[in-house]
Amino acid sequence: MPKLVSILRNKPEQWYQENGMLVNESRHQGLVLGETDFSFSFPVQERLEIFGMEIDKKLNFSSHISNVCKKVNNQLNVMLHFRKLIPRGTLLQLYKVYILPHFYYFSSV
C-alpha cells in the first residue's frame, strides 16, 4: 500500500515535469469527496469555488445558492428603490442583464 500511495502522490508532479511546467503549490486546490487520512502535498479544503460556483465535499450547492440569492436580492432591491426614476423598458433591460443570467448559468451547470 505505501508504494501505491507514493505513486499516486508523485503522479501530478511527474506530469508537470513531463510537460515542462513548474508546480506552484500555493495555487493548487483540492476537494476530497468522503473521508480520508491521506496527506496531500497541496491544501485540501472543505469548500471549493471553481467556475463561479461554490461546492462542498458532500456535493452540496446550498452555500452557492445562498450567495446567488444574496446577489440577486441586492440587485433587485436597487432596481425597486429606483423604479419611479427609471423607465419600465430600462428596468426590464437591467433585469435581463443583471438578474436573469444568474438563473440561466446555474441551470446549465
From first to last of the 109 residues of the chain, give the pLDDT tens digit. 455 455 555 676 777 788 888 777 777 777 777 777 776 666 677 787 777 778 787 777 778 788 888 988 998 998 899 889 989 999 899 889 888 887 776 555 5
- Is the pTM here over 0.75, yes or no? no
Q: Is residue 15 part of a domain?
A: yes
Give me the phi and psi of 20, to 5 degrees please.
70, 30
Helices (H), 19-86: 62-81
Q: Are residues 41 and 79 in the same domain?
A: no
Cα-trace Rg, the chain: 22
Q: Is residue 54 part of a domain?
A: no
E strand segments, 15-98: 30-31, 44-45, 47-50, 53-56
How many structural domains compose the chain? 2
Domain encompassing residue 3: 1-45
Q: Are residues 109 and 67 in the same domain?
A: yes
Alpha-carbon gap, residue 107 to 8, rounded angstroms: 35
E strand segments, the chain: 30-31, 44-45, 47-50, 53-56
